[in-house]
Structure 1
Amino acid sequence: MSDTEYSLITRFSGAAVGAVERGIGHKGGRLFNRTALQGAGLNMTPAEFLVLLFSGAVVAGLLGFVAMGPLGAILLAMLVPVVGWMVLSLRTSKRRSSFEAQLPDLLMTLSGSLRAGHSVMRAFDSAAQEFEAPMSEELSRIVNEARVGRNPESTMMEIAQRMGSEDFSWIAEAILINREVGGDLAQVLDQVGETIRERAEIKGQVSALAAEGKISAYILVALPIGVTLMLGLINPTYIGTLFTHPLGIFMLVLAVIMLCIGSFWMSRTVQIKF
């Protein structure tokens, strides 16, 4: 690709992102907003992500039109936002799990730094340099926002809400209470860390027991979609009747509705709240 073509593509994509951003605002919409992207660890604006989804939908629609005709194009194009949402959900879940797994070590590091005579912000800064992502990213956010004058506890509460971590909110509350009434913060963090480790052990046992149900749910949801796509590529004429005959279209709509209901029911069944 020449420099001129690359420049034109860059200019066009920049104009598209700017137009989308003017339409949805800086924070984005409800589904693919800035908070959701930050929770998934994506350094993208909502407008950039939506332009990426739109481009993917166009490409998928063209492939579906070639393979299965107009209805196939519509089906694959509509599937792209669903896949985008699934990718965000999976990345967010993985990032939250990694964050939760790092909390016990974080508390040990913080209590050690406090016993060595460091301040709370200095302890956070030191931990941000020692830990890997996502913990390092979130701790750096706390330190950077504290440097510009924001209350660290407020930042920590926002991180706890974005990461879905009740344990991290306990750490924020412990620091806030210690700042108001005083006391040995290192000892308090040790007690919080012991509680978090016990909760993590219980969560691990429950996750192991629910793993079989989750895998079964993933397979049952992916199986009809995968079979449909495979038949559409291998024998478009055979599967094309479902997209052209009124009865076939009714059966497809009914299958999608039943698949959505079954997916929701299975997700509620294997989801354990603590």
Structure 2
Amino acid sequence: MLIIIGAALLFLAPIMVGVALVLPHTPDIALERRRPFQADPPSKLTWLAKVMLGALDRFLATRNVRLYSRDALENAGVRFSQAEYMVLVIAGAMVGVLVGLVIGVPAISVLLFVLAPFVGQVVLGFRAGKRRTKFDSQLGDTLQLLSGGLRAGHSILRAIDAAAAESQSPTSEEMRRVITETSLGRDLLAALNDTAERMKNEDFVWIAQAIQINREVGGNLAEVLDQVNETIRERAEIKGHIKSLAAEGKFSAYILIAMPFGIVLMLMTVNPSYMNSMFTHPLGWGMIGASVVLMTIGSLWMRKIIDLKF
């Protein structure tokens, strides 16, 4: 009898274990804590901004509008899409209109609204120039990292990858882009030439040519990069001397350009009625237009004189 009961227990034990696993049981962790994290629903302002961006993006895509191209935004280091940047420009134009209405001069509202797109382009150009200047100043350190990686036994791609990891922006971003493009199957020389074209850097063109020549004929690429680095440093020293010599001319040009505006502001502060005819009479409007044209020509002329090429 005991043998029969023991055999029955042995037979029923797996079944009971299976039933216990299948049947629902109280969890060890509360249900609220096991739910995935849910962010708060977006506000109405956020939802409205997303709708506006989506509509503007679709409009620009269908009309093939490239007012602020992707390349211009990338060169400026702006992490916005064209639609997002245009929304910022439109917001700035609306602020300019409000400023003109608050001070009671509708003409200023119209002027600021019209100038907003051009100001957006100027900002992109300024940021792109600043980014290129920073890239040029980091080029010597980049070459040292490349030559050091090559002496350590790495390939040129691995050396570029190490330079991307060790460098600062914008060099790190551009080197990482080169690595990404080559990993997708693009030729290394084409990627380097595109970087030189984006940065408008003649010295980087030499680096790309040195790498290409070394890939074709062989040799010690680390020594070649060291020589290129020495040449670039000498050119940078000459650039510094030229900038210091041309600084006086630039300062004189800035003073000559700012002087008419300073005189007008001084006269409007000392005797406001003295300048009323200039802004109310047609002859005054013509004189203002002629002065703007002449000052533009003079500014471009002085810029050409002090912009030395070598």
Same fold judged by TM-score > 0.5?
Answer: yes
Instruction: Note closer, same or farther for the CA distance 1:265–1:60 as it changes in structure 2 (3 Å cut).
Output: same
Q: Which amino acid aligns with 1:273?
A: K
Cα shift at 1:184: 1.1
Instruction: Note closer, same or farther for the CA distance 1:66–1:253 as it changes in structure 2 (3 Å cut).
Output: farther
Q: Which range moved further: 260-269 or 190-199?
A: 260-269
Q: Structure 2: 5+ residue runs without aligned partners?
A: 1-41
Q: 1:110 aligns with which of 143, 146, 167?
A: 146
1:53 matched residue in structure 2? 89
1:143 matched residue in structure 2? 179
Q: 1:15 aligns with which of 55, 60, 70?
A: 55
Distance 1:215 1:160 in 2: 31
Distance 1:47 1:99 in 2: 27
Instruction: Note closer, same or farther for the CA distance 1:8–1:49 as it changes in structure 2 (3 Å cut).
Output: closer
2:291 paired with 1:251: no
Cα shift at 1:141: 0.4
Alignment of 1:210-249 (within 5 A): 210-221=246-257, 242-249=278-285
Q: Which range moved further: 111-120 or 263-272?
A: 263-272
Instruction: Note closer, same or farther for the CA distance 1:224–1:188 as it changes in structure 2 (3 Å cut).
Output: same
2:245 paired with 1:209: yes
Q: Which amino acid aligns with 2:239?
A: K
CA contact (8 A) 2:147 2:222 kept: yes
Q: 2:157 aligns with which of 121, 132, 136?
A: 121
Alignment of 1:146-225 (within 5 A): 146-221=182-257
Instruction: Note closer, same or farther for the CA distance 1:109–1:238 as it changes in structure 2 (3 Å cut).
Output: same
Q: Which amino acid aligns with 2:168?
A: E
Instruction: Note closer, same or farther for the CA distance 1:229–1:51 as it changes in structure 2 (3 Å cut).
Output: farther
Cα shift at 1:216: 3.8
2:111 paired with 1:71: no
Q: Which amino acid aligns with 2:45?
A: E
Runs of 4+ in 1 over 6 A off after TM superposition: 226-240
TM-score normalised by the chain length of structure 2: 0.76
Cα shift at 1:164: 1.1
Instruction: Note closer, same or farther for the CA distance 1:174–1:99 as it changes in structure 2 (3 Å cut).
Output: same
Q: Which amino acid aligns with 1:132?
A: Q
Tell me, what secondary structure is at the counterpart of 2:165? helix
State which structure, 1 or 2, has the greater radius of gyration over its C-alpha atoms: 2
Instruction: Note closer, same or farther for the CA distance 1:189–1:196 as it changes in structure 2 (3 Å cut).
Output: same
Instruction: Note closer, same or farther for the CA distance 1:270–1:76 as it changes in structure 2 (3 Å cut).
Output: same
Tell me, what secondary structure is at the counterpart of 2:138? helix
Tell me, what secondary structure is at the counterpart of 2:302? helix
Between 1 and 2, higher relative CO (CA 8 Å, sep ≥ 6) is seen in: 1
Distance 1:152 1:137 in 2: 16
CA contact (8 A) 1:18 1:47 kept: no
Q: Structure 1: 5+ residue runs without aligned partners?
A: none
- Tell me the matched-pair count: 269
TM-score normalised by the chain length of structure 1: 0.85
Alignment of 1:17-32 (within 5 A): 17-25=57-65, 28-29=66-67, 32=68
The superposition leaves residues 125-178 of structure 1 with CA deviations (integer Å, 9 ceiling, x where unpaired) of: 001010100100100000011111111211111111111100001000111111
Cα shift at 1:244: 4.4
CA contact (8 A) 1:124 1:139 kept: yes
Instruction: Note closer, same or farther for the CA distance 1:123–1:105 as it changes in structure 2 (3 Å cut).
Output: same
The superposition leaves residues 158-208 of structure 1 with CA deviations (integer Å, 9 ceiling, x where unpaired) of: 111111100001000111111111111111111111110110110111112
Q: 1:42 aligns with which of 51, 56, 78?
A: 78
Cα shift at 1:236: 9.1
2:291 paired with 1:262: no
Distance 2:259 2:55 in 1: 39
Distance 2:207 2:245 in 1: 29
Q: What's the Cα RMSD here?
A: 2.9
